[in-house]
Amino acid sequence: MFEILKKDSKSKARLGKLHTQNGIIDTPVFMPVGTLGTVKSVSPLELYNEGFKIMLSNTYHLFLRPGMEVIEKFGSLRNFINYKGAILTDSGGFQIFSLAKFAKISDDSVEFMSHIDGAIHVFTPEKVVKLQEVFDSDIIMPLDVFSGPEASKSRAEKDLDITLKWAEISINAKNKEKNNLIFLISQGNFFEDLREKSAIYLSELNADGYAIGGLAVGEDKETMYNMLNISASKLPENKPRYLMGVGTPEDIITAVSLGVDMFDCVLPTRNARTGSVFTSKGNLNIKNSIHKFEKQPIDDECNCYACSNFSRAYLRHVFMSKEIFSQRLLTIHNLHFYQNMIFNIRQSINNDNFMNYKNNFLEKRLK
């Protein structure tokens, strides 16, 4: 299922291939976020052609809208959204606890109120796996409990016990006849012993891969990297490791050095919609008046469609005029920036030059 092709000699970075029912994914990989089955403002074909062979969607959101009956009619989520690549669906645990109007948790289920129409629903770990089997997701994520960054140790411990119990239920609920993969989610808030306990316990359950959750929720970077390092180092070496919902280019390249293989984050797409763009020399905001007359592209090292064809002045103009086109152009650029970084990361691991690439990349961005 997962092959490690090469390991970096100076860090824990590794180059791999993840086999899914809808294609082989080169890792490290960045998965664009299409919560509702669309990555905002770009087409599935554009994504695929940009080299994104796997994208993310969300069970909680799709369950509420358009609803299971609609997707079931198309045979799979992939058919419904007409994407050629693979799809990982997040369970929606995070959304239930952060978005729903209320979420009442018991040992074996969570009852919540839809943030859309106020309807009451109940998710059990079994049900969430079955919903993702209806989607025919390439990678299924189990329901877990997100207790938030402020949780006390006793609360975190209690939530972790439920998450671990649910992980076991989820892996047993999965239909073994089908080729969907299932990953389990390692949690533990910001407590070193809980992070360890979670990773060790889940490793025994022999999932197809392991996610690391509950990070980048407001903690400082040092804490995040420390927790990430504990989780990653205790998870099985021969399975893919997926850092959920993180992060900046700096976070990703650091996480790769700690042995993480898979990433998703809304940053490239969400930032684009506020005019914020990533460049090889740091981030800039296209709204800024210094760009008003600038003929140069966003990033002279980028060969995306936006940078190959348009000046900062034009991009600023369409952004300030609230033209839809500006969202597209800035999204195309930001996604290309992430993809290009990931491509370079893979190449540098292959050439056993990753730490050099990492240091140069970070130095140039922070200058």
Q: Binding site for Zn(2+), residues?
A: 302, 304, 307, 333
Which C-beta is closer to Zn ion: that of 243 or that of 306? 306
Minimum distance, C-beta of residue 32 to Zn ion, in the bound complex (Å): 15
DSSP type of residue 33: B
Interface with Zn ion, residue 55, by CB under 5 A? no
Residue at 11: amino acid letter: S
Q: How far is the CB of 8 from Zn ion (least distance, A)?
A: 28
Within 59-208, strands assigned E span 86-90, 103-105, 110-113, 120-123, 139-140, 181-186
The reply to whether 264 belongs to the active site is yes
| Longest CA pairwise span in the chain (Å) | 60
In the bound state with Zn ion, the residue whose beta carbon lies nearer, of 201 and 338, is 338
Is residue 90 annotated as part of the catalytic site, yes or no?
Answer: yes
Residues numbered 255-314 forming contacts with Zn ion, rule: CB under 5 A: 302, 304, 306-307
Binding residues: 90-94, 144, 187, 214, 302, 304, 307, 333
Phi, psi of 183 (to 5 degrees): -105, 150
Question: What are the percentages of helix, strand and coil residues in the chain, rounded to 5?
Answer: 45, 20, 40
- For the window 166-205, what string marks contact with Zn ion as x by the rule CB under 5 A? ----------------------------------------
| The binder of Zn ion chosen from 333, 346, 358, 365 (CB under 5 A) | 333
Q: Which stretch binds Zn ion (CB under 5 A): 5-13, 41-49, 108-116, 328-336?
A: 328-336
Q: Write down the catalytic residue from 136, 251, 261, 264.
A: 264
Q: How far is the CB of 315 from Zn ion (least distance, A)?
A: 10
CB of residue 300 vs Zn ion: minimum separation in angstroms?
9
- From 8, 90, 136, 208, active-site residue: 90
Compute the distance between CA of residue 230 and CA of residue 100 in angstroms, rounded to an integer. Answer: 31
**DSSP letter assigned to residue 303:** -
Please name the residues in contact with 170: beta carbons below 8 A apart, sequence gap of 6 or more: 125, 126, 128, 129, 140, 142, 143, 182, 184
Helix (H) or strand (E) holding 27: strand 23-27
Considering only CA atoms, which of 161, 162, 232, 225 is closest in space to residue 203?
Answer: 232
Contacts with Zn ion by CB under 5 A lie at 302, 304, 306-307, 333
Q: Which residues are catalytic?
A: 90, 264
